[in-house]
Structure 1
Amino acid sequence: MRFQNVMVRAVDVMQMTSRFSGLGARVRKGAWFGRSIRQQVLLAISAMLFLATVLMGATAVLNGRQSVNVEIEASMDTAEGYLRELVRRINAENHLSELDNLVAHEIQHLRHARVYVEDPGKPMRVLRSPETVSDIDDANDRTPDWFEALMMPKGGNDHTRVISIEPNGRSLILKGDPDDEIAEKWEQLSAFATVAVVAIVFIVLAFYIVLGRILNPLTDLAKGLVALEAGERSQRLKIPKVSEVADIAVKFNSLAASLDQAREENGELYRQIQSVQEDERREIARELHDEAGPCLFGITANAESISRLTDALREDSAEAIRKRTDEILSISSRLKAMNRALLKRLHPVSVGKVPLSALIQDLVYDFERRHPNVRIGLSVTPLIRPYGERIDLTVYRSTQEALTNAIRHGQATHIVVQLREEASQGAGSDQDAIALRISDDGVGLKPDVQAGFGLSAMRERVLASGGSLVIAGHEPHGTTISIKIPLWPRDLHGGSINAFSQATA
C-alpha cells in the first residue's frame, strides 16, 4: 500500500514537472522567436560577449589566486631572510632592548607579511610601523569580503615562519598577509570589468547600427509586401547595394508590375461588367416604370370604377363588392410602393444630377424610415456639386451595401456615416479624394469568415474607380469600412486605364 502511494505521488510529480517544463519551453520559444532578426542577433552577440567576459574573469580569478599564493611564498622567503639578518645585526650590536622599535621601523617596506613578537609567558602582539597601518586598513576596506574569500590562497593565512632570538627566548613570528595583494587584484579585475562593459556596450551599439543598415532592405521588403497585399499598385522597392537582397528587390518589383498589370486588366473588365450591369438596371427600371406603372394605375382606376358602380346595387351586394375592391386598391397601393422602392434601388434618377451629399442624405433617410429601430448618424461636409455618375454611383452603392450589411448581418443598432472631400498634401487638385467612412456597433466580422458577394462587389467597384477600401473590426464588437475615391481630372472619367493606375485596396 505504501509503495502504491509512493508511485502515485511520483507520477503526480512527473506530470507537474512535465507541465512546467512545457510552459517554460513555450515561454522561451515565444521570448526568442517573437523577436526581430536584429534583436535575435544582438541578443546572441551580447550573450557570447557576456560569456566570454565571464570566462576571462574566471580565468583572471584563477590566475590571480595562484599569483597571490606565489607572491606570498616569495614575500615570506624575502621577509624571513631580511629579518634573520636584521636580528643577527641587532644581536651583534647588543641592541636587543630596542628590538621592537628597530624591527617596526625596518618592516615598513615588507609586503604581504605581518611580523609578531612573542615574549616568554606573554601573548603574541603584532609589530606595525606607522606608515603601514593606514595602507593595510585601506586595503581591507576597499576589497569585498566575497572576493577576498575567493582569492585567499590555499591554506589561508597559515604561511608562518618563526625566528628565535637568543639568549632572551623571544621570537619573531612572520605570517603571510595577502590583503594588499588581493586588493591589487580587485582593482585590476574592477578595471577589467569596467573596460569590458564599456567595450560590450560599444560593440552592441556598433552591431545595432550595422545590422540596421544591413536589414533595412529586408524591412523595406516586408513593408512593401504589406503595401502590395493592401493593393498599393504603385509600390516599388529601391534596389539595395547588397547583392542577395538586390535580387529579391528586383523580383519583388517584377511581381508588383505583373500584379499591377493584372489589376488593370481586371479593373477594366470589371468596369465593363459594371457598365453593362448599370445598363441592365436602367433598362429594368425603365420597363418597370413604363410597363408596371401603367398596369398598376389601370388596376387602381378600374377598382375605383367598380366601387362607384356598386351604388346602383342592393346594399348587401354592394358591401361585398366594395370590400373586394378595397382589398384590390390596398394591394395595388403596396405594389406601387414596392415598384417605386425597386426603381430607386435599381437606378436612382438623381445620381449624377444632384450634390452627392443630398444623394447620401436621401439614402440614409430611406434606411431610417424602413428600419426605425436603428439610429443612423450622418456627418456630411457640404459637397455642393455632383462628381459624375461614376463617382456618385460608387459612393451611393457602397453606402447602400454597407448599411444593408450592418443592419442585416451585423445586427447593428447604431451606425455612423461620414462623408467628406479630402484635399491632398501634394500639388494639384486631381489628387483630392472623396472619403466615406461607415462605422457600426454590430457583431463585427469574424477573422476566419470570407467576405461575401456584397463586400466583394463593393471592393471591386471601388477599385474600378481607382479608390481604396479598408475593412477593420473593433473589440469587442463593431466594424468600420473606410473608402477613398480619388477625384481624377474630368477628361479621365471616361474610363482610361491610366486613370486607375494608382488604385489601392
Structure 2
Amino acid sequence: MRLVLQLVGRLLVIVALCLGAATVWATVDAHRSVDRATSASAQRVAKALEALYWRELLLRSNREREHLLPVPDWRTLETMKLISPGVCVQFAPATAFEKPLCGQSQGIGQAAPRWFAAIVPSFLGSHAEVVRPVSDRAAAAGTVIATPDPAAAISLAWEYTLNVLDVALLMSVAIALLASLAIAHTLAPARSIVTALQRMARGQYRTPLPRFRSMELAMIGQAVGELGDRLEEATAQRAALTRRLLEIREDERRALARELHDEFGQNLSAILAFANTIETASAKDKNGHAITQDARMISQATHHIMACLRGTLNRLRHPLPEELGLEASLVNLVDSWRSQSATQPVIQLDLRGDLAGVRGVAATTAYRVAQECLTNALRHSAAREIVLRIERRSGDENALLIRVEDDGGGDAERVARSAGHGLTGIRERVTAAGGSLLIAPANRGLSVAAKIPLAA
C-alpha cells in the first residue's frame, strides 16, 4: 500500500477520533448548559422577587410584615422573560393550585432520537432543581425553585450537539482535505527517489536528483547519490578485474594450446608413424595378420585423438573474430559444428545489421557467447533445431544482440540458477563488456539472450 494512502488513512482515523471526542464533549457541555440555564433563571427570578419584596415592604405597614408575600404580582410577563427556555420556576411557599411559571419550550429544538434520550440520562444523570432564597436578609421572603423540563432539556442538548457537530464536521473535512494535500505534496519527491533507485537497479548508477526542501528527503537523496557513486565505482573495478581475468584466461588458453600442439601433437604423430611402420612390416609377414589389425586399430584411435585435439585447439586458440571478423567467424563456427556429424541438429544462422565494423571486446564476447551456447545446446539437450541470431542495433541503442534458441526442452529457472563454468564464463564476459544476459523459456526449449553495448 502506498505511503500517502497509509498516512491519509491514519489521518482520517485521527479525525474520526477527534470528531467522536467533540461529540462527547458537546453532549456533556449541552447537559451542563441546561444546569447553568436553570441556575441562572433561578438567580434572576430571585433578584427580581427580592426587589418586589422590599418595594412591597416599604409600601405596607410594619404590622403586615409577617404576611408579606410577592403574590400575585410576581407572575408577570417581565418575570417570565427572566426564565430560560425549558425551565420552570415556582415560588415557595406557593398558594393553593398554583402552577410553576415556565419559559417558552415550544420550538426550541427538534425532537431528539430515542437512543439519545435514553443514553444521555443514563451516563450523565438527571438535572437537579435549583433553590434560591428571595432575600438573604429576610428568610420570610420565601424561596425560588427552578426545575428544568426533562423533554425540553433533551431537545436543547440534542440541538446544541447538532450545532457543534456541524461545525466540527466541516472543520474535520477541511482539515483532512488540506492535510491530505499537504502530505501528498510533501511525499511527492519520493517518486524521484524511487525512480532513481529503479534506474540504479538497471545499471544507471549516476542518476541526478533534484534538491529537496525537506531535510529528511534531502538526506535520503544524498545517501542515494553516494550509493550510486559507490556502486558505479565498484562496478567499474569489478569490470576491470573481470577483463583482466579474461585476459589471463586467454593467455592460459594460448599457452595450453601451444603445449598440446607441441607435446601431444608430436607424440601422436610419432605414434601414428610407428603404427604405420608396424602395419607395413606385418603386411609382408604371412603370420602377421593379427599384428596388422592391431596396428590399424592404433592408427584409427590415433586419428580420432588427433581430431579431438584439433577441435580442442580450435577452441583454445586465439578467437577468430580478431582475425576473420565477427561475421566470418560465426559462419566458420556454425560450419564446423555442421561438418562434425550428419546426425547433428539443424543449426540456423541469422545475421542482421552491419557486423563488419564490430571489433574488439564486443566481437570476442559475442563469439564466445555464441560458441558456449551452441556447445551447451548440442551436448546437453535433445534439440532438433537451433537458431543463432546476431543483430546489430544502431541509433541510440547502439548494441549487439545475441540470441540462441533451441527446441530441446529444459528448465529455464534451473539453468539460470546453474553455477556451471560455461554459464559463469558467459555472465562474466557479458558483465565485463557492460552488457546483460537473460535466460528464458522459448518455444519447446530455452532461449539465451545477451545484449552487448558497442559504446562500451
| TM bin (shorter chain) | 0.5 to 0.7
Q: In the alignment, which of 198, 208, 211 is matched to residue 186 of structure 2?
A: 211
The CA distance in 2 between the partners of 1:158 and 1:381, in whole Å, is 101
Q: In the alignment, which of 325, 340, 364 is matched to residue 295 of structure 2?
A: 325
Q: How does 1:391-402 map to 2 (within 5 A)?
A: 391-401=362-372
Aligned partner of 2:178: which letter? I
Which secondary structure does the structure 2 equivalent of 1:385 belong to? coil
Residue number in structure 1 paired with 2:450: 483
Q: In the alignment, which of 7, 17, 20 is matched to residue 54 of structure 1?
A: 20
Does structure 1 retain, via aligned residues, the 8 Å contact 2:416–2:439?
no
Q: In the alignment, which of 275, 285, 292 is matched to residue 313 of structure 1?
A: 285
- How many Å apart are 1:156 and its aligned residue? 7.2
Aligned partner of 1:351: which letter? P
Does structure 2 retain, via aligned residues, the 8 Å contact 1:432–1:486?
yes
Q: Quick one: structure 1 residues 180 and 288, their matched pair in 2 at CA, closer, same or farther if it must change by over 3 Å?
A: same
- How many Å apart are 1:275 and its aligned residue? 3.7
Q: Quick one: structure 1 residues 400 and 235, their matched pair in 2 at CA, closer, same or farther if it must change by over 3 Å?
A: farther
Q: Structure 1 residue 303 and structure 2 residue 275: aligned?
A: yes
The CA distance in 2 between the partners of 1:235 and 1:416, in whole Å, is 40
- How many Å apart are 1:324 and its aligned residue? 1.0
Residue number in structure 1 paired with 2:355: 385
Aligned residues between the structures: 381
Q: How does 1:16-55 map to 2 (within 5 A)?
A: 41-42=7-8, 44-55=10-21
Q: In the alignment, which of 146, 149, 159 is matched to residue 118 of structure 2?
A: 149
The CA distance in 2 between the partners of 1:357 and 1:186, in whole Å, is 91
Aligned partner of 2:321: which letter? V
Q: Structure 1 residue 181 and structure 2 residue 169: aligned?
A: no
TM-score (norm 2): 0.59
Q: In the alignment, which of 331, 335, 354 is matched to residue 305 of structure 2?
A: 335
Q: How does 1:354-369 map to 2 (within 5 A)?
A: 355-356=326-327, 359=330, 362=333, 366=337
- How many Å apart are 1:342 and its aligned residue? 0.6
Does structure 1 retain, via aligned residues, the 8 Å contact 2:338–2:347?
no
The CA distance in 2 between the partners of 1:468 and 1:201, in whole Å, is 49
Equivalent pairs: percent with the same residue? Answer: 24
Aligned partner of 2:436: which letter? L
Q: Quick one: structure 1 residues 72 and 368, their matched pair in 2 at CA, closer, same or farther if it must change by over 3 Å?
A: farther
The CA distance in 1 between the partners of 2:411 and 2:165, in whole Å, is 63
Aligned partner of 2:293: which letter? K
Structure 1: unaligned runs, 5 residues or longer: 1-34, 79-83, 90-109, 115-131, 160-173, 489-499, 501-505
Does structure 2 retain, via aligned residues, the 8 Å contact 1:435–1:484?
yes
Which secondary structure does the structure 2 equivalent of 1:202 belong to? helix
- How many Å apart are 1:395 and its aligned residue? 1.9
Structure 2: unaligned runs, 5 residues or longer: 45-70, 77-83, 89-105, 130-148
The CA distance in 2 between the partners of 1:437 and 1:424, in whole Å, is 17
The CA distance in 1 between the partners of 2:41 and 2:427, in whole Å, is 90
The CA distance in 1 between the partners of 2:173 and 2:388, in whole Å, is 56
Which secondary structure does the structure 2 equivalent of 1:176 belong to? helix
The CA distance in 1 between the partners of 2:291 and 2:156, in whole Å, is 127
Q: How does 1:135-284 map to 2 (within 5 A)?
A: 139=110, 144-151=113-120, 176-177=151-152, 180-181=155-156, 184-185=159-160, 187-188=162-163, 190-192=165-167, 194-213=169-188, 215=190, 219=194, 222-223=197-198, 226-227=200-201, 231-242=203-214, 246=218, 249=221, 253=225, 256-257=228-229, 260-261=232-233, 263-264=235-236, 267-268=239-240, 270-282=242-254, 284=256
The CA distance in 1 between the partners of 2:176 and 2:377, in whole Å, is 55
The CA distance in 2 between the partners of 1:73 and 1:425, in whole Å, is 90
Q: Quick one: structure 1 residues 238 and 156, their matched pair in 2 at CA, closer, same or farther if it must change by over 3 Å?
A: closer
Moved more, 246-255 or 198-207: 246-255
Post-superposition CA distance 1:338-376 (Å, at most 9, x none)? 113212321376435355497289469949989x99x99
Which secondary structure does the structure 1 equivalent of 2:352 belong to? coil
Q: Quick one: structure 1 residues 346 and 150, their matched pair in 2 at CA, closer, same or farther if it must change by over 3 Å?
A: same
Aligned partner of 1:188: which letter? N
Q: In the alignment, which of 390, 395, 400 is matched to residue 434 of structure 1?
A: 400
Does structure 1 retain, via aligned residues, the 8 Å contact 2:265–2:306?
yes
- How many Å apart are 1:394 and its aligned residue? 0.6
Does structure 1 retain, via aligned residues, the 8 Å contact 2:30–2:161?
no
Q: Quick one: structure 1 residues 38 and 234, their matched pair in 2 at CA, closer, same or farther if it must change by over 3 Å?
A: same
Q: Quick one: structure 1 residues 242 and 192, their matched pair in 2 at CA, closer, same or farther if it must change by over 3 Å?
A: closer
TM-score (norm 1): 0.55
Does structure 1 retain, via aligned residues, the 8 Å contact 2:354–2:392?
no
Which secondary structure does the structure 1 equivalent of 2:401 belong to? strand
Does structure 2 retain, via aligned residues, the 8 Å contact 1:417–1:438?
yes
Aligned partner of 2:429: which letter? R
Aligned partner of 2:246: which letter? Q
The CA distance in 2 between the partners of 1:424 and 1:65, in whole Å, is 82
Which secondary structure does the structure 2 equivalent of 1:444 belong to? helix
Aligned partner of 1:278: which letter? E
